[in-house]
Amino acid sequence: MEGRGSPILFDSSLLRPPLGRYSSLSADPVRVYRLDEPTADPFSAIRRDLAAFGTMPSLPDLGGFVGGAAGFLSYEMGRSFERLPVPRLPGAPLPAMHVGLYDWSIVWDHFTGRCWIASTGFPETSETARLARARDRIRQVREWLGAPPLAAPQTVPDGGVEIDGHSLAMPSLPLLKSNFTRPQYLEAVARVVEYIRAGDIFQANLSQQLNHPFGGSPVELYEILRKVNPAPFAGYMAADGWAIASASPERFFEVRGDEVSTRPIKGTRRRWHDRPEADLFRADELRESDKDLSENVMIVDLLRNDLSRVCRPGSIRVPQLCRVETYETVQHLVSEVRGELQSGRDFWDTLSAAFPGGSITGAPKVRAMEIITELEQIPRGPYCGTLFYSGFDGRSDSNILIRTFVIAEGLLRCSVGGGVVVASDPAAEYAETLHKAAGMLRALEAWQQAAH
């Protein structure tokens, strides 16, 4: 679908039951909702249009995204839901929100090998008109699948661009720069620890932004990324000269009926593929680390509090606490929090109550976000935001946009960070960010080699 309007892909590139079963692709939305700055009620127009069409709960449980609202929110959209000062930061290259209403989707079931086109007939409201439009769209999508791909424009001028920042001195990526030097990042971590000791916060998620010139097809980069760094909540979206290519391992939250679940990640160790015994040792070390366990439990408590705003009293539970999960370049501690939504509450209420995710802010959330803005000094943009869908069938899902490339204005941006607690060692926190970046940088290296 390269070259079609606002293509979006929800990609389970890491096939791991019960996660990673379905992937869904759509494009050419019927309507687009874009916000350049956060507003007090960002979802009002989307909810109005969805209500006019109505949900289709009678659809069979096909899995994946079958059509509905889908898009991304930037981290800065948190100002729509929390009382935060407006920071004086450089302008962001992407909008704060870009959401489309998609009337069709191609869905893959990776476990059965089946693939189908779901077409809803949106925005028609009568049964006859819906059926006619749904059939027309299926024919159109089949024609697109059989046609040559549309040419995608270059995303960077031929002469390249100059990047402000500090070189990471990587021989394989000599043009890669960060908004922090290593000493500056260590100093920022130490400053967070000072805030913790002063009683301002318990934890904050600090990040650095890596930048590299980019020219070419973001789709080709994503195809490499999903092979090099497969993830259960990966995805891709593009519009208006920008693209988001994500290999996220983290679900923000899923809504199915009145059940909501979230899977926060806190705690990381690098993988040792060439030394299996070291890999197992690091997993055990992570499982028994007081620092990482406390970091994870803090965020579980924060998310329980966020979900309590929209869930029935007494319904919130933690079926999984601090389990080690293994990915291509790192191992993580992952927990799960579940709850039952109050009557009349839905995906949009949950998004408003919990965004941005606690795992990438800190606790308490608002004060942690203020400190993040003070120390990072740049907008995060899509990083630590969410790529999500809310389907006409009543199912919704969303990720946390980590391990994510953001491509715009001739630059590729990739931010990496980690939770800082009172026991944090600044040098270890800096090293952790580079461990998290390893799969992304490996994909960038492979893309460079293929391009040249």
Active-site residues: which are they?
A: 250, 266
Whether 295 contacts 266, CB under 8 Å: yes
Residues near 151 by beta carbon (within 8 Å), at least 6 away in sequence: 3
**Both structure tokens of 171:** 């021989």
Query: Measured between alpha carbons, how far is 114 from 318 in angstroms, rounded to an integer?
Result: 33
Residue 302 Cα distances to 362, 368, 425, angstroms: 8, 12, 23
Q: Coil, helix or strand for 344?
A: coil
Q: Coil, helix or strand for 224?
A: helix
213 - beta bridge partners? Answer: 411
Helices then strands, each counted (H, E), the chain: 9, 22
Phi and psi of 104, rounded to 5°?
-145, 165
Whether 22 contacts 110, CB under 8 Å: yes
**Both structure tokens of 269:** 């160790």
H or E stretch covering 336: strand 330-340
